[in-house]
Structures are given as structure tokens and as C-alpha cells.
Amino acid sequence: MDEDKRIILKDINVRYRGADDFQLKHVNATVTAGKIIGIIGNSHSGKSTLCRVLGGVIPNIISAEIDGTCNLLGYSPKDDWQAFNASTGVVLQNPAGQLSGLADTVADELAFDLVNQGLPASFINKRVANVAAQMGLTAQLGQSPESLSGGQMQRLAIGTAIVTQPKILIMDDPTSEMDPVGRKQFFGWLDTVQDTTVFIVSSEIDDLCEVADSIWILKDGELIVHGSPEKVFNHLSAQWRIPEPTAYQLAQRMNWRLDDNRYPVTSAELKEAFDAQN
């Protein structure tokens, strides 16, 4: 398979300047383009650091000691920063910190990168309206970004990341300030995303299982397991202290299994396992 159709991580090690320990250790993975990868792990497991590496923030913006190979769709975030940056959208934990700070309205903020690219106004207006609708921000287009709630600010940050239609989207806990309705809408939107490789850190295990093609579990800076949600959650180790999906817990209590003897991890699989038992 051509490298421009894969994400390849080979023996990635990261240590921040002044730190004694490595935040990432010997991370290896290969992913086909167009997949959604859910990244989970307990505190200080290296999730945010991995997002910074995937987004090129390390070492281009945040200085850190890094070695190994990171190749995303044929680009190296370290060696091909400009080309890589043009094809990547990044949403980090502090949404306000990644806004331009120069826009008077939500519409202007969404349009900021497109204006800098010199695109026609008619194209920009159409794209901004489309992204605002996707993020549930149509009613807020005329408001100041500073007037938004925390959840709306997160949706605006996501909107600014997707307005250029990136090939790779990296999001670090993008729903932490959203209410349950907003979070449900976000994951519903994420399930419709096509032709984009998505890396998303989240503690919303149930939602991740519904949308992710692959789950990565980090522990103490190491990628200890990765695979389909069904495979990963049917082979959890208690030592990892990772919560199980609600569908899995209910099916285990009721002993509802799928045909291959595994427990379901999504709502659709839970219904399938229930129907098989009744």
C-alpha cells in the first residue's frame, strides 16, 4: 500500500525539555486513510502528547526531544511542516487558545483561514454557512466568539479546523465542555465524516465505540493495544483500569453474546445479541 494512503508511526519516543521521563515510548502503529481512531487512557498516559505529535505541534511549536518516524499520508510533520499543516486540522484541549483572536464574529472566525487563502467571498460565505450548520452554530454566526458558552467554543474550534476540509483531523477531548445534547450531536456528526482520517481523544467510551474503526489504548506513554472496538474491549486487562462500554457491561450481566461468542460493544450489536437470545 502506498505511503500516501497510510498513517505510519514507527518507534516514536518523546520527552519534553527538562523532563526526566519520556511521555511517549516506542509507539508503533499503521492505519489506513479514512478511518476514525479513538484514543483512550488514564491521566498522564500520553494522549495529549500523541495528539501534538500527530498534529506537528511537537516539535514545530512545542520544543521536545523526539525520535522515530511519523508519516501521515506521505507527509512528515517534522520535515514537511508547511505541506502537512495545510492538510491537517487540529483541535487541542483549550479551544479559545486556538482561535485567531482577530475576528469580531463567529462567521469571521470560521472564515479566517479561507480569507487568508484568498478565496472568493461567495465561496467563503457558502463554506462558512455549511460548517456552521454542521456544528450547530448558525444562530451564533453574528455573535462575538467571546460570548459563546464553553461547549459552543469547542464547536467553533472544531469548525475552524474543518472549514479547510483537511485530510487529517486530530481532536484532543473535543467534547469536554459540551452538554449531553451537544455531545450527542457531535458524535452524530462525526459518524457522517467521510474521506478524512480522524484521531480523537475522548473519555466517552460508549460514543467512541459507536463511531471508531479502531481504538488505541495508551498506558504510561506506551501504545499497549489497538484494534477494532469489539476486539479491544473483549480483551481488556483489569490492570489497565479502562471502563467497559455500557453495552458490553449489560450484555455480560445478561450473558448475551454474538455469534462468535464475543460481547457487543455498540447499541446495534447489543440488539443483535438480545435478539439472538430471544
pLDDT(3) > 80: no
* SS3 label, residue 23: coil
Instruction: Tell me the per-residue pLDDT of 70-94, one tens digit each, with 9 for 90 and over.
Output: 998 888 888 888 888 888 999 988 8
The predicted structure's pLDDT at residue 2: 57
The predicted structure's pLDDT at residue 84: 82
Question: Is-contact 14 58, C-beta < 8 A?
Answer: yes
- Cα(149)–Cα(154) distance, rounded to whole angstroms? 9
Instruction: Tell me the per-residue pLDDT of 101-155, one tens digit each, with 9 for 90 and over.
Output: 899 999 999 999 999 999 999 999 999 999 999 999 999 999 999 999 999 999 9
Fold of 1-87+167-235: Rossmann fold (3.40.50)
pLDDT(4) > 80: no
Domain-wise residue ranges, the chain: 1-87+167-235, 102-165, 244-278
Beta-strand ranges (E) seen in 59-161 are: 64-72, 88-91
Instruction: Tell me the per-residue pLDDT of 212-263, one tens digit each, with 9 for 90 and over.
Output: 999 999 999 999 999 999 999 999 999 999 999 999 999 999 999 998 899 9
Instruction: Tell me the per-residue pLDDT of 11-23, one tens digit each, with 9 for 90 and over.
Output: 999 999 999 999 9
The predicted structure's pLDDT at residue 1: 45
Residues near 200 by beta carbon (within 8 Å), at least 6 away in sequence: 36, 37, 38, 39, 170, 171, 174, 190, 208, 212
Instruction: Tell me the per-residue pLDDT of 143-185, one tens digit each, with 9 for 90 and over.
Output: 999 999 999 999 999 999 999 999 999 999 999 999 999 999 9
